[in-house]
Amino acid sequence: MKLARIEWQGYIVPFKDPVRTAGSDAPARQGLLLQLYSDTGLAVWGEASPVGPGNEQQLLGFAEQLEGVSDALFRMNITDAGSLHTLSAILSKVSSGLRFGIETALCDLVGKSEGRSIASVLGGTPRTMPVNALLTAESSEDAARQTREAVTKGFSAVKLKVGFLPVACDVERVEAVRSAAPGISIRLDANQGWSVPQAIEAIRLMELHGLEYVEQPVAAADIAGMRRVRNAVSTPIAADESVTSVETALRLVRTGTADVLIVKAARLGLLEASKVMHMAVAYRKPAIVTSSFETGVGLAASLHLAASVPDCGICGLATATLLEDTLVSSKLSPDRGLLACPSGPGLGAEPDPAAVSRYASHVRGRISR
Protein backbone atom coordinates (compact mmCIF):
# COMPACT_ATOMS: atom_id res chain seq x y z
CA MET A 1 0.00 0.00 0.00
CA LYS A 2 1.36 3.41 -1.01
CA LEU A 3 0.23 7.02 -0.84
CA ALA A 4 -1.40 8.42 -3.98
CA ARG A 5 -2.14 12.01 -2.90
CA ILE A 6 -1.39 14.47 -0.11
CA GLU A 7 -3.59 17.48 0.63
CA TRP A 8 -3.45 20.17 3.31
CA GLN A 9 -5.78 22.90 4.48
CA GLY A 10 -4.96 25.63 6.99
CA TYR A 11 -7.46 26.69 9.65
CA ILE A 12 -7.94 29.60 12.04
CA VAL A 13 -10.26 28.80 14.97
CA PRO A 14 -10.82 31.53 17.61
CA PHE A 15 -10.59 30.75 21.30
CA LYS A 16 -13.89 31.29 23.13
CA ASP A 17 -12.05 33.23 25.85
CA PRO A 18 -8.47 34.52 25.95
CA VAL A 19 -5.91 31.84 26.85
CA ARG A 20 -2.90 33.65 28.27
CA THR A 21 0.37 32.04 29.29
CA ALA A 22 3.91 33.21 30.05
CA GLY A 23 4.79 32.30 26.45
CA SER A 24 1.80 33.36 24.36
CA ASP A 25 -1.29 35.51 24.17
CA ALA A 26 -3.28 34.96 20.98
CA PRO A 27 -6.96 35.18 20.01
CA ALA A 28 -7.04 32.07 17.81
CA ARG A 29 -5.49 28.66 17.11
CA GLN A 30 -3.89 28.16 13.69
CA GLY A 31 -2.80 24.88 12.17
CA LEU A 32 -2.96 22.54 9.17
CA LEU A 33 -5.25 19.60 8.57
CA LEU A 34 -3.60 16.92 6.43
CA GLN A 35 -5.54 14.44 4.31
CA LEU A 36 -3.64 11.55 2.76
CA TYR A 37 -5.06 9.12 0.19
CA SER A 38 -3.75 5.60 -0.35
CA ASP A 39 -3.62 3.77 -3.66
CA THR A 40 -6.21 1.39 -2.16
CA GLY A 41 -8.77 4.18 -1.80
CA LEU A 42 -8.42 4.95 1.94
CA ALA A 43 -8.57 8.59 3.08
CA VAL A 44 -6.84 9.40 6.38
CA TRP A 45 -6.23 12.46 8.52
CA GLY A 46 -3.61 14.18 10.64
CA GLU A 47 -3.20 17.59 12.23
CA ALA A 48 0.05 19.50 11.78
CA SER A 49 -0.09 22.25 14.37
CA PRO A 50 2.76 24.16 16.01
CA VAL A 51 3.12 24.13 19.77
CA GLY A 52 1.24 27.17 21.01
CA PRO A 53 -1.37 29.15 19.05
CA GLY A 54 0.51 29.04 15.73
CA ASN A 55 0.71 31.63 12.95
CA GLU A 56 0.54 31.82 9.17
CA GLN A 57 4.33 31.90 8.72
CA GLN A 58 4.68 28.60 10.58
CA LEU A 59 1.95 27.01 8.45
CA LEU A 60 3.59 28.17 5.22
CA GLY A 61 6.82 26.63 6.51
CA PHE A 62 5.00 23.36 7.21
CA ALA A 63 3.60 23.35 3.66
CA GLU A 64 7.07 23.92 2.20
CA GLN A 65 8.54 21.11 4.32
CA LEU A 66 5.70 18.81 3.29
CA GLU A 67 6.47 19.38 -0.36
CA GLY A 68 10.12 18.60 0.38
CA VAL A 69 9.40 15.15 1.82
CA SER A 70 6.48 14.21 -0.43
CA ASP A 71 8.56 12.12 -2.86
CA ALA A 72 9.97 10.03 -0.02
CA LEU A 73 6.47 9.57 1.44
CA PHE A 74 5.14 8.44 -1.93
CA ARG A 75 7.93 5.84 -2.15
CA MET A 76 7.04 4.29 1.22
CA ASN A 77 5.48 0.84 1.18
CA ILE A 78 3.06 0.87 4.10
CA THR A 79 2.26 -2.68 5.11
CA ASP A 80 1.78 -2.52 8.89
CA ALA A 81 2.88 -0.62 11.99
CA GLY A 82 6.40 -2.00 11.62
CA SER A 83 6.79 -0.30 8.24
CA LEU A 84 6.47 3.10 9.91
CA HIS A 85 10.00 2.79 11.36
CA THR A 86 11.32 4.33 8.12
CA LEU A 87 9.54 7.58 8.98
CA SER A 88 12.26 8.71 11.40
CA ALA A 89 14.75 9.06 8.54
CA ILE A 90 12.24 10.66 6.17
CA LEU A 91 10.98 13.19 8.70
CA SER A 92 14.25 13.93 10.51
CA LYS A 93 14.49 17.45 9.10
CA VAL A 94 10.86 18.58 9.38
CA SER A 95 9.24 20.44 12.28
CA SER A 96 7.87 18.29 15.08
CA GLY A 97 4.36 19.69 14.54
CA LEU A 98 4.39 18.54 10.92
CA ARG A 99 5.84 15.19 11.99
CA PHE A 100 2.89 14.82 14.36
CA GLY A 101 0.44 15.37 11.51
CA ILE A 102 2.11 13.01 9.03
CA GLU A 103 2.62 10.26 11.60
CA THR A 104 -0.97 10.55 12.80
CA ALA A 105 -2.26 10.19 9.24
CA LEU A 106 -0.07 7.16 8.53
CA CYS A 107 -1.06 5.51 11.82
CA ASP A 108 -4.66 6.25 10.82
CA LEU A 109 -3.93 4.49 7.52
CA VAL A 110 -2.46 1.41 9.22
CA GLY A 111 -5.30 1.33 11.73
CA LYS A 112 -8.04 1.61 9.12
CA SER A 113 -6.43 -0.99 6.87
CA GLU A 114 -6.15 -3.45 9.79
CA GLY A 115 -9.44 -2.56 11.49
CA ARG A 116 -7.88 -1.36 14.75
CA SER A 117 -7.40 1.93 16.55
CA ILE A 118 -4.29 4.12 16.59
CA ALA A 119 -4.01 3.32 20.31
CA SER A 120 -3.70 -0.34 19.32
CA VAL A 121 -1.15 0.51 16.59
CA LEU A 122 0.92 2.25 19.31
CA GLY A 123 0.67 -0.77 21.62
CA GLY A 124 -2.28 0.12 23.84
CA THR A 125 -6.06 -0.09 24.10
CA PRO A 126 -8.66 2.70 23.72
CA ARG A 127 -10.21 3.60 27.06
CA THR A 128 -11.80 6.41 29.02
CA MET A 129 -9.24 8.56 30.82
CA PRO A 130 -9.38 11.18 33.58
CA VAL A 131 -8.48 14.72 32.55
CA ASN A 132 -7.76 17.96 34.37
CA ALA A 133 -9.66 21.20 33.90
CA LEU A 134 -7.63 24.15 32.59
CA LEU A 135 -8.26 27.37 34.51
CA THR A 136 -7.86 30.53 32.41
CA ALA A 137 -8.78 33.03 35.17
CA GLU A 138 -6.46 35.98 35.82
CA SER A 139 -8.14 37.11 39.05
CA SER A 140 -8.56 35.22 42.31
CA GLU A 141 -12.34 35.65 42.15
CA ASP A 142 -12.55 34.12 38.67
CA ALA A 143 -10.11 31.37 39.66
CA ALA A 144 -12.36 30.39 42.56
CA ARG A 145 -15.45 30.47 40.34
CA GLN A 146 -13.83 28.33 37.62
CA THR A 147 -12.63 25.88 40.26
CA ARG A 148 -16.12 25.48 41.69
CA GLU A 149 -17.45 24.92 38.17
CA ALA A 150 -14.77 22.25 37.58
CA VAL A 151 -15.76 20.45 40.78
CA THR A 152 -19.42 20.55 39.74
CA LYS A 153 -18.46 19.01 36.39
CA GLY A 154 -16.66 16.14 38.09
CA PHE A 155 -12.99 17.12 37.66
CA SER A 156 -10.59 15.91 40.33
CA ALA A 157 -7.66 18.05 39.16
CA VAL A 158 -7.19 21.57 37.81
CA LYS A 159 -4.29 23.23 36.02
CA LEU A 160 -3.58 26.94 36.47
CA LYS A 161 -1.26 28.97 34.26
CA VAL A 162 1.20 31.06 36.28
CA GLY A 163 4.38 33.04 35.63
CA PHE A 164 2.89 35.86 33.53
CA LEU A 165 1.55 37.89 36.47
CA PRO A 166 3.35 39.18 39.59
CA VAL A 167 4.09 36.38 42.05
CA ALA A 168 1.74 37.91 44.62
CA CYS A 169 -1.14 37.61 42.12
CA ASP A 170 -0.25 33.99 41.39
CA VAL A 171 -0.19 33.21 45.11
CA GLU A 172 -3.62 34.81 45.56
CA ARG A 173 -5.06 32.75 42.70
CA VAL A 174 -3.63 29.50 44.05
CA GLU A 175 -5.01 30.31 47.50
CA ALA A 176 -8.42 31.02 45.93
CA VAL A 177 -8.38 27.69 44.07
CA ARG A 178 -7.51 25.78 47.23
CA SER A 179 -10.19 27.59 49.27
CA ALA A 180 -12.79 26.84 46.59
CA ALA A 181 -11.93 23.12 46.50
CA PRO A 182 -9.97 21.84 49.53
CA GLY A 183 -9.63 18.32 48.10
CA ILE A 184 -8.80 19.04 44.46
CA SER A 185 -5.39 18.37 42.92
CA ILE A 186 -3.70 21.60 41.79
CA ARG A 187 -1.22 21.65 38.93
CA LEU A 188 0.66 24.84 38.01
CA ASP A 189 2.27 25.61 34.66
CA ALA A 190 4.77 28.48 34.49
CA ASN A 191 5.65 28.00 30.79
CA GLN A 192 9.32 28.96 31.49
CA GLY A 193 8.14 32.25 32.99
CA TRP A 194 10.51 32.50 35.97
CA SER A 195 14.21 32.80 36.65
CA VAL A 196 15.63 30.22 39.05
CA PRO A 197 15.45 32.52 42.13
CA GLN A 198 11.92 33.64 41.17
CA ALA A 199 10.80 30.03 40.74
CA ILE A 200 12.14 28.99 44.14
CA GLU A 201 10.51 31.96 45.84
CA ALA A 202 7.17 31.54 44.05
CA ILE A 203 6.90 27.79 44.56
CA ARG A 204 7.81 28.02 48.25
CA LEU A 205 4.97 30.49 48.73
CA MET A 206 2.43 28.54 46.68
CA GLU A 207 3.24 25.04 47.89
CA LEU A 208 1.84 25.99 51.29
CA HIS A 209 -1.56 25.42 49.65
CA GLY A 210 -0.70 21.89 48.46
CA LEU A 211 0.39 21.33 44.85
CA GLU A 212 0.57 18.16 42.76
CA TYR A 213 3.42 19.59 40.66
CA VAL A 214 4.77 22.74 39.00
CA GLU A 215 5.39 22.49 35.29
CA GLN A 216 8.41 24.01 33.53
CA PRO A 217 9.25 26.71 36.09
CA VAL A 218 12.36 27.93 34.22
CA ALA A 219 13.74 28.06 30.66
CA ALA A 220 13.72 24.73 28.84
CA ALA A 221 17.44 24.85 28.12
CA ASP A 222 18.36 25.58 31.76
CA ILE A 223 18.46 21.98 32.94
CA ALA A 224 20.88 22.78 35.76
CA GLY A 225 18.59 25.60 36.88
CA MET A 226 15.56 23.34 36.90
CA ARG A 227 17.48 20.83 39.01
CA ARG A 228 18.32 23.64 41.46
CA VAL A 229 14.63 24.49 41.71
CA ARG A 230 13.69 20.85 42.25
CA ASN A 231 16.23 20.48 45.04
CA ALA A 232 15.10 23.70 46.74
CA VAL A 233 11.34 23.03 46.99
CA SER A 234 9.10 20.28 48.30
CA THR A 235 6.72 20.22 45.31
CA PRO A 236 7.44 17.82 42.41
CA ILE A 237 8.74 19.49 39.25
CA ALA A 238 7.40 18.58 35.80
CA ALA A 239 9.29 19.10 32.54
CA ASP A 240 7.37 20.15 29.42
CA GLU A 241 9.28 22.36 27.00
CA SER A 242 12.47 20.53 28.04
CA VAL A 243 11.07 17.23 26.71
CA THR A 244 12.07 17.35 23.04
CA SER A 245 13.05 13.72 22.40
CA VAL A 246 13.25 10.37 24.14
CA GLU A 247 16.94 11.15 24.79
CA THR A 248 16.23 14.46 26.55
CA ALA A 249 13.41 12.86 28.53
CA LEU A 250 15.72 10.05 29.62
CA ARG A 251 18.36 12.58 30.69
CA LEU A 252 15.82 14.49 32.78
CA VAL A 253 14.81 11.27 34.52
CA ARG A 254 18.31 9.88 35.06
CA THR A 255 19.73 13.16 36.43
CA GLY A 256 16.84 13.65 38.84
CA THR A 257 15.87 16.93 37.18
CA ALA A 258 12.16 16.17 36.73
CA ASP A 259 9.69 14.14 38.76
CA VAL A 260 7.04 14.21 36.01
CA LEU A 261 7.26 14.29 32.20
CA ILE A 262 4.74 16.32 30.20
CA VAL A 263 4.32 14.75 26.76
CA LYS A 264 3.10 16.85 23.83
CA ALA A 265 2.91 15.09 20.47
CA ALA A 266 3.16 18.44 18.67
CA ARG A 267 6.58 18.95 20.27
CA LEU A 268 7.86 15.39 19.76
CA GLY A 269 5.95 13.84 16.89
CA LEU A 270 3.48 11.03 17.59
CA LEU A 271 5.92 8.11 17.35
CA GLU A 272 8.65 9.78 19.44
CA ALA A 273 6.02 10.75 22.02
CA SER A 274 4.96 7.10 22.18
CA LYS A 275 8.58 6.11 22.88
CA VAL A 276 8.74 8.66 25.70
CA MET A 277 5.55 7.23 27.20
CA HIS A 278 6.91 3.68 27.17
CA MET A 279 10.28 4.84 28.57
CA ALA A 280 8.47 6.56 31.44
CA VAL A 281 6.63 3.32 32.23
CA ALA A 282 9.95 1.46 32.30
CA TYR A 283 11.41 4.02 34.74
CA ARG A 284 8.18 4.25 36.75
CA LYS A 285 7.92 7.98 36.16
CA PRO A 286 4.58 9.76 35.64
CA ALA A 287 4.12 10.90 32.03
CA ILE A 288 1.19 13.23 31.44
CA VAL A 289 -0.13 13.64 27.89
CA THR A 290 -1.35 17.17 27.24
CA SER A 291 -2.63 18.97 24.18
CA SER A 292 -1.28 22.11 22.59
CA PHE A 293 -4.80 23.43 21.94
CA GLU A 294 -5.17 21.35 18.76
CA THR A 295 -8.54 20.90 17.11
CA GLY A 296 -10.33 17.54 17.21
CA VAL A 297 -7.96 15.66 14.87
CA GLY A 298 -4.86 16.41 16.93
CA LEU A 299 -6.74 15.97 20.18
CA ALA A 300 -8.00 12.53 19.14
CA ALA A 301 -4.44 11.52 18.22
CA SER A 302 -3.23 12.62 21.66
CA LEU A 303 -5.99 10.57 23.28
CA HIS A 304 -4.70 7.51 21.41
CA LEU A 305 -1.18 8.38 22.60
CA ALA A 306 -2.38 8.54 26.21
CA ALA A 307 -4.07 5.15 25.77
CA SER A 308 -0.87 3.61 24.39
CA VAL A 309 0.38 2.82 27.93
CA PRO A 310 -1.53 1.19 30.82
CA ASP A 311 -1.64 4.23 33.10
CA CYS A 312 -0.68 7.80 32.20
CA GLY A 313 -2.44 9.48 35.09
CA ILE A 314 -4.77 12.44 34.73
CA CYS A 315 -4.25 13.87 31.24
CA GLY A 316 -4.28 17.49 30.14
CA LEU A 317 -6.60 16.92 27.19
CA ALA A 318 -9.82 18.68 28.23
CA THR A 319 -9.15 21.59 25.86
CA ALA A 320 -11.77 21.13 23.13
CA THR A 321 -14.16 23.46 24.93
CA LEU A 322 -11.63 26.31 24.76
CA LEU A 323 -12.08 26.54 20.98
CA GLU A 324 -15.03 27.97 19.09
CA ASP A 325 -15.11 24.73 17.03
CA THR A 326 -13.12 21.48 17.05
CA LEU A 327 -13.59 20.89 13.29
CA VAL A 328 -14.70 17.29 13.88
CA SER A 329 -18.14 15.74 14.20
CA SER A 330 -17.22 13.51 17.20
CA LYS A 331 -17.76 14.67 20.75
CA LEU A 332 -14.43 15.27 22.48
CA SER A 333 -15.75 17.05 25.56
CA PRO A 334 -15.14 15.57 29.01
CA ASP A 335 -17.97 14.03 30.98
CA ARG A 336 -17.61 13.96 34.79
CA GLY A 337 -13.90 14.64 34.41
CA LEU A 338 -13.42 11.77 31.96
CA LEU A 339 -12.64 11.77 28.24
CA ALA A 340 -13.16 8.73 26.03
CA CYS A 341 -10.55 7.75 23.46
CA PRO A 342 -12.22 6.93 20.11
CA SER A 343 -12.41 3.17 19.71
CA GLY A 344 -13.14 2.77 16.00
CA PRO A 345 -10.56 1.87 13.34
CA GLY A 346 -7.72 4.37 12.95
CA LEU A 347 -8.16 7.84 14.38
CA GLY A 348 -11.89 7.49 15.01
CA ALA A 349 -12.52 11.21 14.47
CA GLU A 350 -13.43 12.60 11.05
CA PRO A 351 -13.33 16.32 10.22
CA ASP A 352 -16.64 18.06 9.60
CA PRO A 353 -16.39 19.48 6.02
CA ALA A 354 -18.70 22.40 6.79
CA ALA A 355 -16.66 23.42 9.86
CA VAL A 356 -13.35 23.03 8.02
CA SER A 357 -14.68 25.26 5.24
CA ARG A 358 -15.97 27.85 7.72
CA TYR A 359 -12.62 28.23 9.51
CA ALA A 360 -10.33 27.65 6.51
CA SER A 361 -7.33 29.90 5.92
CA HIS A 362 -5.80 30.52 2.51
CA VAL A 363 -2.90 28.13 3.27
CA ARG A 364 -3.73 25.04 1.23
CA GLY A 365 -2.21 22.69 -1.33
CA ARG A 366 -2.06 19.20 -2.82
CA ILE A 367 0.50 16.88 -4.37
CA SER A 368 -0.18 13.71 -6.36
CA ARG A 369 2.20 10.86 -7.00
HEC string of the chain equals CCEEEEEEEEEEEEEEEEEECCCCEEEEEEEEEEEEEECCCCEEEEEECCCCCCCHHHHHHHHHHHHHHHHHHHHCCCCCHHHHHHHHHHCCCCCHHHHHHHHHHHHHHHHHHHCCEHHHHCCCCCCEEEECEEECCCCHHHHHHHHHHHHHCCCCEEEEECCCCCHHHHHHHHHHHHHHCCCCEEEEECCCCCCHHHHHHHHHHHHHHCCCEEECCCCCCCHHHHHHHHHHCCCCEEECCCCCCHHHHHHHHHCCCCCEEEECHHHHCHHHHHHHHHHHHHCCCCEEEECCCCCHHHHHHHHHHHCCCCCCCCEECCCHHHECCCCECCCCCCECCEEECCCCCECCCCECHHHHHHCEEEEEEEEEC
The catalytic site residues sit at 161, 264
